[in-house]
Amino acid sequence: MATSPRDPAWLRSGAPHVWRPYCQHQTAPTPLAVVGAHGSRLVLADGRELVDGVASWWTAAHGYNHPHIAARVEEQLRRLPHVAFGGLANEPAYALAERLAALLAPLSRVFFVESGSVSVEVALKMAVQSFHNRGEPRRRRIVCFENAYHGDTLATMALSDPVSGMHHAFAGMGIDAIHLPVPRADDGGAFEEAFRSVAGEVAGVVIEPLVQCAGGMRFHEPETLQRLRHACDEHGVWLIFDEIATGFFRTGARFALDAAGVVPDIVTIGKALTGGTLPLAAVVASEAVFACFLSEQADRALQHGPTYMGNALACAAAHGSLDLFERGDFAARVARLEALLRGRLGALRTRADVVDVRVLGAIGVVEMKPGTAPASADFAERGVFLRPLRLPHADVVYVMPPLTIEEPDTNRLLDAIDDALAA
Ligand SMILES: Cc1ncc(COP(=O)(O)O)c(C=O)c1O
C-alpha cells in the first residue's frame, strides 16, 4: 500500500474499520495523523507541528507528555496497573479519594468511574435513589438547562439541550428531564416560579457552573449558581455541578464552585483530572447524600460499579496531575492567559459574521453566524488545531488550550483565528 507522509499506511488501512466520533463519514475529511505530542503541540505524521487550541477535548491541562505524570504512571504500571474495586482496594485510588475530598470539602465521598458521561449518570442515580431510599420515589425528575451538554449516554443526552443539542434522535429516552432557561439577573424570578411548580417531583438540578461548554460556550454569572443553591435548599432538592469541563482552573478558579462561593451537594469531575493521559472521572458527594444509602438493607446501596472503577494507573496519573496543580500558580497563569485572550480576541468583534466575543479564564470564544466559521482544515493550514462547534443557532470558534501554553504558541493560535476569519 502506497503511503504519503500525510496519510501513513496505518491510517489508510485502519480507516475502513474505525467508526469516528460525531463523524459524518460520507463527507468528513481524513483525520490528521498524530504521531507525537509535547507541550501544547501535536506532531503530525508528515512532520508538521500544530499548536493544539483545544487540548484534546480540554484534558491536557499541563500540556502533552508531562514527565511527572508519565513517571507516576510508569511507577504504578510496574507495581499494580489494575485490580477490581469490589471487595479489593488499591492505594492510588484511596489516596486520591482523600485528596479530592480535601480539595472539594465539605464534599467528602468520592465515586470513581472512567468517563465524564458516566460520572453524570452516577450523580443522577445518586439523586434519584437517595429519594427512593428515603421513601419518596415520586421525586425522580431532573431539572437541567437550555444549551446544556452533559455527555452522550442515554440519561446525559436527555439532560442536554433538546433543540440545539446533537441528540434529538433520542428525545424522550433516558431520564425525565425538565429543561429551563438558565436563570439571568433580569428574568424577574422566572426560574424560581417555574421550579416551584415542579420541585415536588424533582430529585436534582444539574448545571455546568459558570460555562455551558459544548452547548455553545455560554457564560453565566456566579449569582445564577447562588440562586440555584437557594432554590434547591428551599425545596429539598440536590444541587449537582458538572465541573467536568470547568474544573481545575479552566475558568480561573480551581473549581467554578470556588469562584461562585457555592457548595453543591454533588460534583462531577473528569477531563483535566489526569491531565489528559488516562480516562478517569469522579463523582464527589456530601455526607448528607451518602447517608441516604446507609441501611441494614443491601438493596439501598448505590447500584453502580464499573469494571475499571478506581483503576490504579488512571489514579496514579491523577496524582501526577494534582501534584502539578499544587506546584504551579495556576490561578495567576490563567489570569495572564485570560488577559492575552481578551486583548487579542476583542479586536475580532467588528469582523464580518462575528456575533459575539467573550473570554473567561482559559476559554476564548468567537461566536459567529451559523455556517460561517472556518473549517478545522483552514486552521490546520495555519499551523493550529481548532474544532469549531457547529450549532443550529451559531458557529462557535473557541480556544481552550493547555493551561501551560506559552505566549508565542497562544499568539500563533490567535494569529491563525485572525487570519482564517479574514480569508
Ligand atoms: C460538562 C461536560 N459534562 C460531561 C461531559 C462528558 O464527558 P465524557 O466525554 O468524558 O463522557 C463533557 C464532555 O465534553 C462535558 O463537557
Of all residues in the chain, the percent with pLDDT exceeding 90 is 95
Residue 52 identity: D
| Per annotation, catalytic residue among 52, 149, 265, 395 | 149
> Domains along the chain?
9-65+329-422 (3.90.1150.10), 68-327 (3.40.640.10)
pLDDT digits 0-9 by tens, 326-378: 999 999 999 999 999 999 999 999 999 999 999 999 999 999 999 999 999 99
Whether the upstream peptide bond of residue 106 has omega within 30° of 0, thus cis, is yes
C-alpha cell read off for 179? 429543561
Q: Is 270 in the pocket of ligand 1 (CB under 6 A)?
A: yes
**Mean pLDDT over the full length of the chain:** 96
What is the C-alpha separation between 398 and 361, in angstroms, rounded?
Answer: 13
Burial of 375 (0-12, 13-18, 19+ CB in 10 A): middle
Of all residues in the chain, the percent with pLDDT exceeding 70 is 98
pTM: 0.97
Give the chain's largest Cα–Cα span: 68
pLDDT of residue 4: 53
C-alpha cell read off for 7? 496519510
What is the C-alpha separation between 273 and 137, in angstroms, rounded?
Answer: 34
Sign of CA dihedral 269, 274, 280, 286: negative
User: Under 8 Å CB-to-CB from 203, ≥6 apart: which residues?
Assistant: 124, 127, 128, 130, 131, 139, 140, 141, 142, 237, 238
pLDDT digits 0-9 by tens, 216-252: 999 999 999 999 999 999 999 999 999 999 999 999 9
What is the C-alpha separation between 385 and 54, in angstroms, rounded?
Answer: 7
pLDDT of residue 166: 74
| Per annotation, catalytic residue among 161, 242, 258, 395 | 242
pLDDT of residue 6: 79
Q: Is 245 in the pocket of ligand 1 (CB under 6 A)?
A: yes
pLDDT of residue 9: 96
| Per annotation, catalytic residue among 265, 271, 395, 409 | 271
The lowest-confidence range among 16-20, 52-56, 161-165, 332-336 is 161-165
pLDDT of residue 194: 97
- Pocket probe for ligand 1: among 56, 152, 257, 271, the residue whose CB has the most ligand atoms within 8 Å is 271
Rounded average pLDDT over 62-74: 98
Nearest CA to ligand 1 atom 7: 116
pLDDT digits 0-9 by tens, 131-173: 999 999 999 999 999 999 999 999 999 998 877 767 778 888 8
Residue 390 identity: R
Quick check: is 94 catalytic? Answer: no
In degrees, rounded to 5, the angle at the alpha carbon of residue 43 between the alpha carbons of residues 40 and 45 is 165
Sign of CA dihedral 399, 402, 403, 406: negative
pLDDT of residue 149: 96
Residue 122 identity: V
pLDDT at 399 over 50: yes
User: Do residues 76 and 37 lie in contact, with contact meaning Cβ atoms separated by under 8 Å?
Assistant: no
pLDDT of residue 347: 94
pLDDT at 2 over 50: no
Q: Is 289 in the pocket of ligand 1 (CB under 6 A)?
A: no
